[in-house]
């Protein structure tokens, strides 16, 4: 009964939920540094906006999200018609695949990177060319471009890349654009707001210069609204129109819409969130280096740490101490963990647990 293409697809495996770990291990205090969430909690402004809107949830949401799209259009200086919203940016990856990939078409993605590019392509019976990163853990743009064939429809550039946290160079990307003219170039910028490297590209600026670029952003990370599921794409009207054909009409619920507007207008929260991440990312990086660990310098709110041992075992060892991280084994790094930046006390607790576990 099952479609053939599903045989090769594994369901998404999320980070372990805090309550599950508490229940299973009988722990009272558990810190999750596994899913690249915002440790500051949601913006108060967004919570207040949802309280006000809660009394209206008997009505369907605005299917076209007029207010949210208007706010985003103003924020990015683009047209409302160049914005598409998703149930998280994750949904937009699926919608892009559904709208553009026929069986036999091909996507090109970095390896390792966010698994949803390949999962959603395979759902459409498309094939996946996964191009290894450079030795510095950076997306190899020339190699990706060299891999383009007549079947290639979409090239995914995850910037910063998950799980490495590294960014591509905007000049190099610009040079490569003329070789990707007939292809949709998706810049997945889920962690865009955290980037400090000025040589990293801004996908929205790229879209303004190259109409085949799709910039994907999200309210899940720097804006602290992961549980609400709001992501958006900025792209050409024709791509928006295509995605609208496969989109479920009410894919962004009414509370998510008002919360996203409030968060977008809450510059203070965003600034705090970016500052916190920069400070704590440096703290973790320096403390880990001091203890002799190799860490990939990251521009996102997570980092890859080489724990030198089997990282699945390290994951389990830390779990018993109430710290949830992610083994990077699934990304092809058997001795690395992916660590999300937490609150200062969570980061300290992680360092202490790691020291205890490793006996250092």
Ligand X SMILES: Cc1ncc(COP(=O)(O)O)c(C=O)c1O
Interaction of residue 231 with ligand X, rule CB under 6 A: yes
Cβ 275 to ligand X shortest distance, Å: 21
Positions in 50-89 near ligand X (CB under 6 A): 88-89
Positions in 164-223 near ligand X (CB under 6 A): 188, 190, 218, 220
**Bridge partners, 232 (sequence order):** 85, 217
Complex with ligand X: residue 188 or 280, whichever CB lies closer? 188
Complex with ligand X: residue 156 or 269, whichever CB lies closer? 156
Cβ 171 to ligand X shortest distance, Å: 23
Complex with ligand X: residue 37 or 280, whichever CB lies closer? 37
Selection from 331, 281, 345, 321 nearest residue 158 by Cα: 331
Find out whether 115 and 94 touch, Cβ atoms under 8 Å. no
Cβ 158 to ligand X shortest distance, Å: 5
Distance of CA 92 to the CA centre of its chain: 12
Binding mask 86-105 for ligand X (x = CB under 6 A): --xxx---------------
Find out whether 185 and 214 touch, Cβ atoms under 8 Å. yes
Cβ 309 to ligand X shortest distance, Å: 25
Find out whether 68 and 209 touch, Cβ atoms under 8 Å. no
Cis peptide before 112 (omega within 30 of 0): yes
Measured N-to-C along each axis, helices 344-358 and 267-290 cross at an angle, to the nearest 10 degrees, of: 20
Interaction of residue 114 with ligand X, rule CB under 6 A: yes
Complex with ligand X: residue 39 or 88, whichever CB lies closer? 88
Residue 204: CA atoms inside 13 Å, Cβ hemisphere, count? Answer: 17
Question: Residue of minimal CB distance from ligand X?
Answer: 88
List the one residue from 162, 200, 212, 327 that touches ligand X (CB under 6 A): 162
Quickly list DSSP for 232-267.
EEE--HHHHHHHHHHS-TT-S-HHHHHHHHHHHH-H
User: Total residues at the site for ligand X (CB under 6 A)?
Assistant: 13
Interaction of residue 280 with ligand X, rule CB under 6 A: no
DSSP letter assigned to residue 113: S
Cβ 88 to ligand X shortest distance, Å: 3
Tell me how crowded residue 89 is: count the other CB atoms within 10 A of its CB: 24
Q: Which residues of 199-234 are buried (b: 16+ CB within 10 A; e: fewer)?
A: ebbbbbebbbebebbbbbbbbbbbbbbbebbbbbbb
In this structure, the chain runs to a length of 360
User: Interior CA angle at 170 toward 165 and 173, to 5°?
Assistant: 100
Cβ 165 to ligand X shortest distance, Å: 10
CA distance 358 to 331: 22
Complex with ligand X: residue 219 or 357, whichever CB lies closer? 219
Complex with ligand X: residue 152 or 162, whichever CB lies closer? 162
Positions in 4-43 near ligand X (CB under 6 A): 36
Find out whether 120 and 92 touch, Cβ atoms under 8 Å. no
Interaction of residue 243 with ligand X, rule CB under 6 A: no
Cβ 80 to ligand X shortest distance, Å: 20
Complex with ligand X: residue 100 or 232, whichever CB lies closer? 232
Find out whether 31 and 322 touch, Cβ atoms under 8 Å. yes
Complex with ligand X: residue 158 or 184, whichever CB lies closer? 158
Cβ 190 to ligand X shortest distance, Å: 4
Site residues, ligand X (CB under 6 A): 36, 88-90, 114, 158, 162, 188, 190, 218, 220, 226, 231
């Amino acid at each position: 009964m099952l479609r053939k293409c599903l045989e090769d697809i594994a369901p998404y495996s999320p980070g372990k939920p805090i309550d599950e770990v508490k229940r299973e291990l009988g722990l009272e205090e558990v810190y999750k540094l596994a899913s690249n969430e915002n440790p500051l909690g949601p913006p108060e402004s967004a919570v207040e906006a949802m309280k006000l809107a809660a009394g209206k949830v008997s009505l369907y949401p605005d299917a076209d999200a007029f207010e949210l799209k208007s706010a985003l259009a103003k924020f990015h200086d683009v047209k409302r018609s160049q914005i598409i919203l998703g149930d998280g940016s994750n949904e937009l990856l699926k919608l892009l695949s559904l709208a553009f990939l026929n069986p036999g078409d091909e996507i090109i993605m970095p390896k390792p990177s966010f698994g949803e590019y390949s999962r959603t392509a395979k759902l459409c019976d498309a094939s996946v060319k996964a191009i290894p990163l450079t030795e510095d853990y950076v997306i190899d743009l020339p190699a990706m471009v060299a891999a383009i064939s007549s079947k290639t429809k979409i090239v995914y550039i995850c910037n910063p890349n998950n799980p490495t946290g590294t960014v591509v160079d905007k000049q190099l990307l610009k040079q490569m654009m003329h070789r990707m003219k007939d292809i949709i170039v998706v810049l997945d910028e889920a962690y865009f707001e955290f980037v400090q490297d000025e040589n990293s590209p801004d996908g929205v600026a790229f879209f303004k210069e190259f109409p085949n670029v799709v910039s994907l952003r999200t309210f899940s990370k720097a804006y602290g609204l992961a549980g609400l599921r709001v992501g958006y794409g900025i792209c050409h009207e024709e791509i928006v129109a295509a995605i609208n054909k496969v989109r479920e009409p009410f894919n962004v619920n009414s509370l998510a819409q008002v919360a996203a507007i409030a968060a977008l207008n809450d510059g203070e929260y965003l600034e705090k969130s970016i500052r916190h991440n920069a400070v704590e990312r440096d703290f973790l990086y320096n403390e880990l280096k001091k203890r002799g660990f190799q860490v990939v310098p990251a521009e996102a709110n997570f980092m890859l740490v080489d724990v030198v041992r089997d990282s699945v075992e390290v994951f389990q060892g830390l779990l018993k101490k109430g710290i949830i991280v992610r083994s990077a084994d699934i990304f092809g790094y058997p001795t690395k963990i992916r660590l999300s930046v937490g609150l200062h006390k969570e980061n300290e607790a992680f360092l202490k647990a790691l020291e205890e576990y490793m006996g250092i």
